[in-house]
């Protein structure tokens, strides 16, 4: 078809223009894309690559490619499993507490006639503090036995002085409480905003049908809040799984390994024990766990 | 003194100075004279201090008064050598990691840093730092007669060497000694303990939590430089050997006995909170009068003698470590030394050495200690001669009874370079042991289980 090539029809011209536009768009996108690759994808691949090497700063002569050796060690490492368990307990308990307390607070504040704005400002304060600072405050002023405020209250309440950070179980409870204390306001603010946007007429209809307060909460409020709650759960789970600063400053994973979450174990392996290869394998394991859990949560969100 | 030989540089300097003098008058004259006097003791060294003039080096130190005093003298160093020194202050908890990251990436960011003596094996294994013997021997770089390297406390020098090769020069150091409340001891007719058994008895006699006085406190918080700073001394006093038949051993009967002693003392006679205490917390509690005795660094004396905070000034006495069941005293020793980062140009290495020589010299040590103008004086000077200087001894004995005697006797008689396992794997071993000690203290594991678990974890670390 020689004449067709000589005078392209209008449709072809459109295609050429569209192709040009795509190229232009790609050129515009490229810098951001490259920057993203360089700062996120590349380090991630590098991490995965490092996890297949033995890299021990203490024994540089033994370094080299070991394939999946680090992962085999990991599966047989009981400290990996115990730190994973600690991570899961920590995440589950802090997220449940945050949502439950956040929702309760939001419902309470919704009905406040006055001082709601003031309450919101006060409630948001812990969120804006650095977790490391929060950790230091709790560790020194609040929880120190005989000297801290919480312990003073416990003594006066007749509970006696407790070794809040020195006892394995209490230490876990303490770090869960600290995280919950700091991040409940986040759940509270999100849920309060969603509550405020719920349509009033449904409640009015329910009241006309003589639905009790509990029925209204269970049948109307909860289902309508579900998207917001699921969103809070997903966001808080991902943060709790990778939490670090507060536990690092409060207990350093101790006593012993009682509060050593997986993240902290990976950090200690890499930067204290200088076993970079194995530390990377631990970090990859944490990544896999986080992806799996958030995958499940996202699936639940879509399933409705 | 060098004979006066005008060069173009000095001629120009003189010219500028004269011009300035005419303009500014006597105040500059006084200042210039003061600076000359400042540098005279250094200029008597037969080396060319100006040989690397114009270089800039970065030195990582920890935020502590003994380094602050040094930093305040940096202008003198600049005037002497023409080298610009930039100090970076890094908290002690991070300085090891930061310097290891710098050394392993070979960027040469820190020309030198305040180094943990336990890390020299690691540095040596990776050839990250320069062996310093050649710098000491080089007559163009070091005036041996002036620097008097042998005057530096031998225990600290040994700690900064690996297999007899020197890798760091001690700047400031410490040893652990017994610190006790003289008034409380006298009231009950007690004497500072000569053995660990008496130490426990003393603690028991004075322990009275209802009156908010506890018998003693030892470092409880987990860390290679925290509980693993005190425990190794106890372990060695109980007859423990880190390398039994060449194999690193952290468990066994001696280790169990030592850890049992530590856990028992901490549980019965120390405040519960001490399980999370490091030395500043112990010194704070002692200075508030809530702890009757402790064993820790002699340098904590400056905290418990701080007139603004301490309630027990004038009531403090010092003694050497109590002997263990083997009859041995083993003090925990420490020093911040300066190595030379190997990832630098030759000229920078020389500049770094000049800085180290200046900082570790008797003159600078004196200027940052008893002759320092500011309020905080150092208690960790690195030179035997200064520890015999009447001015310094008088100043130090202000900390309480027997301070200088106990410190010096400990430094000379109770130290043991191998009180901790000095191997490149130390960071991992130290952390593992710290976790084990804390598990045992908190009751997360029994003493035997904690130590056996540590042994299981330590073994693969030693396999090449």
Separation between Cα atoms, residue B417 and residue B419, nearest integer Å: 6
One-letter-per-residue 3-state SS of A57-90: CCCHHHCEECCCHHHHHHHCCHHHHHHHHHHHHH
Inter-chain touch A58–B122, beta carbons under 8 Å: yes
- Whether residues B298 and B442 share a domain: the answer is yes
Q: Do B426 and A58 touch (CB under 8 A)?
A: yes
Cβ–Cβ below 8 Å for B97 and A61? no
Q: Residue A123: what pLDDT? A: 86
Q: Does one domain contain both B356 and B426?
A: no
Work out how many domains chain B is built from and give that number. Answer: 2
Mean of the pLDDT values across residues B438-455?
95
The answer to whether the Cβ–Cβ distance between A275 and B276 falls below 8 Å is: no
B118 touches chain A (CB under 8 A): no
pLDDT given for residue B35 in this prediction = 56
Q: Percentage of residues in chain B with pLDDT exceeding 70?
A: 92
B33 and B76 fall within a common domain: yes
Please indicate, yes or no, whether residues B73 and B124 belong to a single structural domain of this protein: yes
CB burial of residue B446 (10 Å; 0-12, 13-18, 19+): middle
pLDDT of amino acid A8? 55
CA distance linking residue A25 with residue B265, whole number of Å: 72
Q: Is residue B267 a part of any domain in this protein?
A: yes
Q: Decide if pLDDT at B28 tops 70.
A: no
**pTM recorded for the entire structure:** 0.85
Report how far residue B129's alpha carbon sits from residue B341's, in angstroms, rounded to the nearest whole number: 5
Residues A97, A180 contacting (CB under 8 angstroms): yes
Query: How much is the pLDDT for A304?
Result: 59
Tell me the pairing of strands A64-65 and A53-54: antiparallel
Domain containing B142 equals 8-168+339-387
Peptide bond into B169 cis (omega under 30): no
Query: What's the CA gap between A105 and A111, in Å, rounded?
Result: 10
Q: Which residue of B has its CA nearest to A146?
A: B273
Residue B10: what pLDDT? 52
Alpha carbon distance B144, B272 (integer Å): 52
CB of B210 within 8 Å of any CB in chain A? no
Chains A, B: CB pairs < 8 Å: 106
Q: Minimal Cα–Cα distance from B105 to chain A, Å?
A: 11
Residue B361, domain CATH: 3.40.190.10
Q: Are residues B249 and B320 in the same domain?
A: yes
Mean pLDDT check: name the lowest of A131-135, A265-269, B31-35, B355-359. Answer: B31-35
Do B141 and B179 have their domain in common? no
Same structural domain for residues B199 and B279?
yes
Distances B30 to B34, B42, B145 between C-alpha atoms, Å: 6, 20, 31
Q: Do B461 and A62 make contact, defined as CB atoms within 8 angstroms?
A: no
From the list B97, B224, B272, the residue facing A146 with the nearest CB is B272
H or E element, residue B248: strand B247-248
Question: How does pLDDT run across B241-265, given as a tens digit for each residue?
Answer: 999 888 999 999 999 999 999 999 9
B3 falls within a domain: no
Q: Give domain limits for chain A.
A: 1-41, 76-302
Query: Is A139's CB within 8 Å of B425's CB?
Result: no
State the Cα–Cα distance between residues A42 and A46, nearest whole angstrom.
6
* pLDDT above 70 (res B26): no
Mutate to test the interface with B, among A166, A249, A259, A271 (most CBs of B within 10 A): A166
CA atoms of A166 and B456, how far apart (whole Å): 24
In this structure, the answer to whether residues B265 and B301 fall within a common structural domain is yes
My answer on whether B223 and B370 are in the same domain is no
Residue-wise pLDDT tens digits, B113-130: 999 999 999 999 999 999
Would you give per-residue pLDDT tens digits along chain A (304 residues)? 445 445 556 678 888 989 999 999 999 999 999 999 999 999 999 999 999 999 988 888 888 999 999 999 999 999 999 999 999 999 999 999 999 999 999 999 888 888 888 888 888 888 888 988 999 899 888 888 877 899 889 888 888 888 888 889 999 999 999 999 999 999 999 999 999 899 889 988 988 999 888 998 999 999 999 999 999 999 999 999 989 998 999 988 878 899 999 999 999 999 888 999 999 999 999 999 999 998 999 888 887 5
Q: Is domain A76-302 in CATH 3.30.465.10, yes or no?
A: no
Give a yes or no: residue B393 inside a domain: no
Q: What is the pLDDT of residues B277-305, one digit of tens each?
A: 999 999 999 999 999 999 999 999 988 99
A chain contacts of residue B122, beta-carbon cutoff 8 Å: 57-58, 274
The predicted pLDDT at position B112 comes to 97
Considering the domain architecture, whether residues B352 and B329 belong to the same structural domain is answered as: no
In the block, residue with structure tokens 């929060």: A134
Is there a single domain that holds both residue B120 and residue B243? Answer: no
Helix, strand, coil percentages for chain A (3-state, nearest 5): 75, 0, 20
Q: Quote the strand ranges of B17-105, DSSP E.
A: 56-61, 84-89
Distance CA B124, CA B167 (A): 8
Reported as a pLDDT band with limits 50, 70 and 90, residue B135 is very high
Q: Are both B46 and B145 inside the same structural domain?
A: yes
In a domain, B2, yes or no: no
Q: Which of B127, B106, B172 is nearest to B424 (CA)?
A: B127
Neighbours of A32 (CB within 10 A): 9
């Amino acid at each position: 078809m020689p004449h067709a090539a000589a005078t392209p029809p209008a449709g072809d011209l459109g295609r050429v223009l569209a192709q040009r536009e795509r190229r232009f768009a790609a050129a515009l996108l490229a810098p951001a894309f490259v920057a993203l690759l360089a700062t996120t994808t590349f380090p991630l691949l590098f991490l995965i690559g490092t996890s297949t090497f033995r890299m021990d700063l203490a024994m540089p002569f033994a370094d080299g490619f070991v394939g999946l050796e680090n992962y085999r060690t990991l599966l047989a490492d009981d400290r990996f499993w115990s730190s994973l368990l600690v991570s899961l307990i920590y995440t589950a308990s802090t997220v449940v507490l945050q949502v439950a307390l956040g929702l309760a607070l939001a419902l309470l504040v919704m009905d406040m006639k006055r001082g709601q704005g003031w309450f919101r400002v006060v409630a948001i304060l812990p969120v804006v503090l650095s977790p490391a600072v929060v950790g230091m405050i709790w560790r020194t002023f609040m929880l120190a036995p005989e000297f801290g405020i919480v312990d003073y209250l416990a003594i006066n309440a007749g509970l006696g002085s407790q070794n809040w950070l020195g006892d394995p179980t209490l230490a876990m409870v303490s770090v869960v409480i600290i995280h919950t204390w700091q991040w409940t306001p986040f759940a509270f603010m999100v849920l309060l905003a969603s509550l405020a946007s719920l349509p009033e007429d449904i409640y009015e209809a329910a009241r006309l049908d003589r639905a009790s307060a509990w029925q209204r909460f269970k049948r109307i409020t909860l289902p309508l809040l579900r998207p917001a709650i699921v969103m809070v759960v997903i966001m808080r789970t991902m943060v709790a799984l990778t939490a670090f600063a507060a536990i690092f400053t409060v207990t350093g994973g101790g006593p012993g390994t009682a509060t050593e979450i997986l993240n902290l174990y990976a950090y200690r392996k890499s930067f204290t024990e200088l076993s970079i290869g194995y530390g990377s394998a631990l970090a990859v394991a944490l990544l896999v766990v986080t992806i799996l859990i958030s995958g499940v949560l996202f699936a639940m969100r879509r399933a409705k | 003194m060098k004979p006066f030989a005008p060069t173009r540089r000095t001629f120009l300097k003189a010219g500028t100075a004269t011009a300035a003098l005419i303009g500014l008058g006597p105040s500059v004259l006084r200042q210039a004279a003061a600076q000359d006097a400042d540098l005279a003791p250094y200029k008597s060294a037969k080396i060319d201090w100006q040989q690397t003039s114009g270089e800039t080096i970065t030195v990582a130190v920890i935020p502590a008064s003994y380094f602050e005093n040094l930093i305040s003298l940096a202008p003198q160093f600049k005037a002497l050598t023409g080298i610009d020194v930039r100090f970076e202050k890094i908290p002690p908890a991070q300085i090891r990691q930061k310097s290891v990251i710098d050394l392993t990436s070979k960027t040469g960011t820190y020309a030198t840093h305040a180094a943990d003596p336990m890390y020299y094996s690691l540095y040596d294994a990776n050839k990250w730092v320069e062996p310093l013997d050649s710098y000491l021997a080089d007559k163009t770089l070091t005036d041996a007669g002036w620097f008097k390297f042998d005057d530096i406390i031998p225990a600290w020098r040994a700690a900064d060497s690996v297999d007899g090769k020197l890798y760091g020069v001690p700047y400031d150091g410490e040893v652990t000694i017994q610190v006790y409340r003289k008034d409380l001891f006298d009231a009950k007719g007690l004497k500072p303990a000569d053995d660990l058994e008496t130490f426990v008895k003393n603690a028991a006699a004075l322990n009275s939590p209802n009156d908010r006085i506890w018998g003693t406190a030892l470092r409880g918080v987990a860390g290679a430089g925290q509980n693993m700073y005190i425990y190794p001394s106890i372990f060695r006093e109980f007859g423990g050997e880190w390398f039994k038949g060449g194999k690193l051993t952290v468990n066994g009967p001696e280790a169990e006995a030592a850890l049992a002693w530590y856990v028992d003392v901490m549980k019965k006679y120390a405040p519960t909170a001490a399980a999370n205490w490091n030395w500043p917390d112990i010194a704070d509690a002692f200075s508030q009068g809530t702890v009757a005795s402790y064993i820790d660094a002699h340098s904590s004396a400056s905290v418990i003698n701080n007139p603004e905070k301490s309630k027990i000034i004038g009531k403090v006495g010092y003694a050497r470590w109590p002997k263990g069941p083997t009859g041995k005293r083993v003090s925990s020793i420490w020093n911040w030394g300066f190595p030379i980062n190997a990832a630098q140009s030759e000229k920078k290495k020389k500049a770094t050495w000049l800085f180290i020589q200046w900082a570790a010299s008797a003159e600078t040590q004196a200027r940052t200690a008893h002759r320092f103008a500011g309020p905080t004086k150092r208690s960790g000077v690195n030179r035997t001669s200064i520890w015999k200087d009447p001015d310094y001894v008088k100043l130090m004995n202000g900390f309480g009874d027997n301070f200088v005697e106990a410190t010096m006797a400990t430094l000379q008689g109770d130290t043991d370079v191998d009180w901790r396992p000095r191997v490149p794997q130390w960071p991992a071993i130290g952390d593992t042991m710290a976790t084990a000690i804390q598990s045992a203290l908190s009751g997360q594991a029994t003493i035997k289980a904690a130590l056996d678990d540590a042994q299981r974890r330590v073994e693969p670390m030693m396999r090449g």
